[in-house]
Amino acid sequence: MNRIFIFIFVLSLFGCEQNKSQKATNNLQKKYEATTIELNIDDESSLVILLHKDGTINRKGDGTQEIDPNFYIGIQQDSIFTKLTKTITPDFESLLNGVYEDPDKKGKTCMLEITLSDGKETKGVRYTYGFESMGPPKPIADYVLKAIELTDPWFKEQTKMTETE
């Protein structure tokens, strides 16, 4: 009987810690209202994404070595930014306000900058690496890849409209 009680007590403690962690992550996701992502490859702008919780969306390029000079600006009914904030974790936030450089860069120099703003304060991270290197840490890479994934349908629609003009 005592073993069962101890087991249930331990499980309840674990559950409480998990709820605290979930609440902390949810607070992070609601904390911000805008983000920018910029990737430069050898000082050329390869990707620029700006998202705001009001639905504002700006994008240039796709993050590859093929540089696209077109910059698209619009507003979406559903806020892509709100969907993107679900990838903000404590691990991601711990990297903010940091400048990092991969000492073993291979290939063209890539500089990735991400900012997040709550309307009063802006936090950011800069990571410099080689195009043929491992790239930024997983929380940063996940954030950028999710931003590309979420904005791709809108971006492709914009590029099609300019091709037909």
End-to-end CA distance of the chain: 77
**Position 155 confidence tier, pLDDT thresholds 50, 70, 90:** very high
**Position 29 confidence tier, pLDDT thresholds 50, 70, 90:** low
* Pair 2, 48 in one domain: no
* Pair 91, 54 in one domain: yes
Residue 138 has pLDDT above 50, yes or no: yes
CA distance 73 to 56: 8
pLDDT score for 67: 86
* Pair 104, 147 in one domain: yes
What the block records as the tokens of 146 is: 């999710």
* Pair 86, 104 in one domain: yes
* Pair 125, 63 in one domain: yes
Would you state the torsion angle of the CA atoms of residues 95, 99, 103, 108, taken in this order, to the nearest 10 degrees?
Answer: 110
* Pair 24, 45 in one domain: no
Residue 5 has pLDDT above 50, yes or no: no
Query: What CATH number has the domain bearing residue 55?
Result: 3.30.1560
Dump the DSSP string for 26-85: HHHHHH--EEEEEEEETTEEEEEEEEETTSEEEEEE-SSSS-----EEEE-SS-HHHHHG
- 128 three-class SS: strand
* Pair 64, 53 in one domain: yes
Domain count, the chain: 2
* Pair 89, 111 in one domain: yes
Computed over every residue of the chain, the mean pLDDT equals 85
* Pair 148, 109 in one domain: yes
* Pair 4, 37 in one domain: no
* Pair 67, 128 in one domain: yes
**Position 13 confidence tier, pLDDT thresholds 50, 70, 90:** very low
Write the pLDDT tens digit of every residue in 59-105: 999 998 888 889 999 998 878 999 999 999 999 999 999 999 999 99
CB atoms inside a 10 Å sphere around CB 147: 25
CA distance 133 to 146: 20
Write the pLDDT tens digit of every residue in 97-134: 999 999 999 999 999 999 999 999 999 999 999 999 98
* Pair 38, 23 in one domain: no
Angle at CA of residue 98, ends 94 and 103, nearest 5°: 115
Structural domain boundaries enclosing 22? 1-31
